[in-house]
Amino acid sequence: MRARFRYGIGAGVLLLVPRLALAHERFIKHDMKRHLQDGFFLQQAGKPFGMDPNMVQIGLLVTLVLSGFFFVWFLRETLDEFLRYKVLASLRGGLQRGLHNLASFVMDKPVRSAWFYAAGEWSVILFLRSPALVLMYSATNDSLVMPSYPLEPSSALYFKFLQVFLAILILTQTLLPLCGAIVIGTWFYLFRWGPLVAIDALPVVTAGILYAMSPWQSHKLAITRLNAEQTRWVRIVLGFGFFVLGWAKIYNHDLTIGVADNYPQIMNDPLVGFFAFGTNPSLRRETWVMSFGLAEVMSGFMLMTGIFTRVWGGIMLWVFTKLMLVDFGWDEIPHIYPIGAVLAVITSNHLRAEFHPLERIERGMRSGAHVQRFALVAAASVAIAFLTVMPMLYALTFTDRSMLRQ
């Protein structure tokens, strides 16, 4: 696989040498109606750790929610035993099977059901071929891979035909490793316009990974399932992409609030509102940006580490679908990338978390020492959540955003 990734970098750069124009601009309206109070996001003299109290409050609330999910996750086997032997044991028939499948779904365990297996096959087919739809849409809109990155007129014709050719390869499932090389190489090429552009396109890499891990004779195979390794890599890359995107939304807060100013309905998200609960009403726009970014950080981190993957994947699936079909429309058709990837992951029966050492310790303490076991799980959950949120939030208060307005 490493050799394919190295090939991907080289192949993509060779194919994409001509220059893009205005790649940093988005088709989504993002003109600010009113400037934010920039000092809210920066160091403030006389405040604890130099951070605005509202920022600290939001960060600690996100930490608390993360801690709760981690605590329940590490004790899920105990909860599963209670559910099976105390609740489901007294039930029979379809109700028992339905509740058992629901519990297995929530706890990321294999779901033994014909409909779930069929949904998994359909999801992988969608994930495998959906990039072709975006490529063709981009080709008709003089863009590269995503409508957010317009092509330079002098080379637009060449790249439009190249994207249609790549889309045909994907739709016919032909030479998928080459398709993966081109997709991944294209993503590396986007660093030419800075890390924020590449971060915005990270979800595209999930499809490239699946292609790169496919056999060269892919056109002869019916690829309808992800194996354990493919599931893990797609989950980690997709989760990491949205984890970084969340921090980028806070760092580039003017762009974030600019989108909200033009689409005010997106400010009514209940999870974001929960994180901003109790903050200063005069800082509503600033606290919304902070809450919105940290909600994405939390979702991405949970997906990346494999903690309640299906629960958070389901939440992200709803958000992406709503943004594409209701809020933004066809200009955000690239959301079909994460929609396909999330569907393929949550319908996989190969899910596992990334905290194996801690889970082994917790498993070894189940026969006794319950107080110590709960104390260990609680301390570990709080530590992981705190280190995920607060240090980076603190570090961002020292960053200079002035160059983003040039």
Q: If you write DSSP's letter for every residue of 221-257 in order, what string do you get?
A: S------HHHHHHHHHHHHHHHHHHHHHHHHTHHHHH
- Do 239 and 10 touch, CB atoms closer than 8 A? no
Report mean pLDDT in 10-residue bins for the chain, 406 residues.
37 34 44 80 87 93 95 88 78 80 89 91 90 83 70 78 89 90 83 75 83 88 88 92 90 83 76 86 90 92 94 88 74 78 92 88 77 89 95 91 62
Length of the chain measured in residues = 406
User: Considering only CA atoms, which of 146, 130, 133 is closest in space to residue 27?
Assistant: 146
Count CB-CB contacts under 10 A for residue 19: 11
User: Considering only CA atoms, which of 307, 309, 318, 235 is closest in space to residue 271?
Assistant: 318
pLDDT at 146: 66
pTM for the whole thing? 0.84
pLDDT at 331: 65
What is the identity of the amino acid at 216? W
